[in-house]
Amino acid sequence: MTAPLAVRVTVLDTWDDIMLTLPGNTSIAELKRAALAQSRVRRPAAEYLVKYNGAELYEPGNTLANAGVVPNGALIVLRRRRVPVR
């Protein structure tokens, strides 16, 4: 187990800023699921992606530590496809 890593995650569907403290070996997919659950988003997690420093983080097998996420780093969870504005 790696040291805990505090990160700030913004979920764009709700504009919620969520503070999470997770081990560095937490997968990106697990972080995404936790952020969506805390912001009460009911859509499938597969419809969302995670960005860090403007780049999409590759999910399969990738962890926070492998992605280079630093303590108090800011991540964004947003839909993979844009939603049309009405």
CATH classification at residue 23? 3.10.20.90
Question: Would you give per-residue pLDDT tens digits along the chain (86 residues)?
Answer: 577 889 999 998 888 899 999 998 999 999 999 999 999 998 998 999 999 998 999 888 889 988 999 999 999 999 988 766 77
Q: Cβ atoms within 10 A of the Cβ of 73, count?
A: 16
Per-residue burial over 37-70, b if 16 or more Cβ lie within 10 Å, else e, is: eebebeeebeebbbebeeeebebeeebbeebebe
User: How high is the pLDDT of residue 80?
Assistant: 84
Asked if residue 85 belongs to a domain, the reply is no
Asked if residue 53 belongs to a domain, the reply is yes
User: How high is the pLDDT of residue 31?
Assistant: 93
Asked if residue 66 belongs to a domain, the reply is yes
Asked if residue 40 belongs to a domain, the reply is yes
DSSP label at 69?
Answer: P
Rg (CA), the chain: 12
Asked if residue 84 belongs to a domain, the reply is no
Domain count, the chain: 1
